[in-house]
Amino acid sequence: MTIRVFAPASMGNVSVGFDVLGGALAPIDGSLLGDFVTISAIKSGIEVNTVGSFAHKLPSDPKLNILYDCAVQYHVKLDKKGQSYDGVCLTLEKELPVGSGLGSSAASVVAALYALNEFYDNALTSSQLLLLMGELEGTISGSVHFDNVAPSYLGGLQLMVQRGDTLCSTIPHFEDWYWVVAYSGVKVSTAQAREIMPKQVPLKTALAFGQNLAAFIDASHRGDSELAASCLVDVIAEPVRGDIISKFSENKAAMLDLGAMASGISGSGPTLFAVTDNVTKAEQLQQYLMQHYIQNDDGFSHICKLDTQGARRETSRGTV
Toward ligand HSE, which CB reaches closer, 124 or 149? 149
User: Count of residues for the chain?
Assistant: 320
* Cα 309 → chain centroid: 13
Q: What b/e sequence results for 145-182 when a residue is b if at least 16 CB atoms lie within 10 Å of its CB, and e otherwise?
A: bbbbbbbbbbbbbbbbeeeeeebbeebebbeebbbbbb
The smaller minimum CB distance to ligand HSE, of residues 78 and 131, is found at 131
Q: How far is the CB of 197 from ligand HSE (least distance, A)?
A: 7
CB of 41 to ligand HSE, least distance (A): 33
Torsion of CA 23, 24, 26, 27, to 10 degrees: 60
Task: Name the DSSP letter for residue 266.
Answer: S
- Say if residues 136 and 72 touch (Cβ distance below 8 Å): no
Q: Which is nearer to ligand HSE, 13 or 184 (CB)?
A: 13
Closest residue (Cβ) to ligand HSE? Answer: 267
- Binding region for ligand HSE (CB under 6 A): 12-13, 18-19, 101, 103, 141, 145, 147-148, 190, 193-194, 237, 267-268
Q: Least distance in Å: CB of 62 to ligand HSE?
A: 25
Cβ-based nearer residue to ligand HSE, 46 or 232:
232
Beta strands in the chain, from DSSP E residues, in sequence order: 2-8, 10-12, 21-27, 34-42, 46-51, 87-93, 157-163, 166-171, 178-183, 262-265, 272-276, 300-306, 312-315, 318-319
Q: CA angle, 225 as apex, 222 and 228 as ends, to 5°?
A: 80
Q: In this complex, which beta carbon is closest to ligand HSE, that of residue 192 or of residue 287? A: 192
Least Cβ distance, residue 147 to ligand HSE (angstroms): 5
**Between residues 95 and 147, which has the closer beta carbon with respect to ligand HSE?**
147
How far apart are CB 232 and ligand HSE at their closest, in Å? Answer: 15
In the complex, least distance from residue 89 CB atom to ligand HSE, rounded to whole angstroms: 29
Residue 142 CB, nearest approach to ligand HSE (Å): 8
Give 92 or 237: the residue with its C-beta nearer to ligand HSE.
Answer: 237
- Nearest CA to 230 out of 170, 152, 157, 174 is that of 174
Contact 124, 273 (CB under 8 A): no
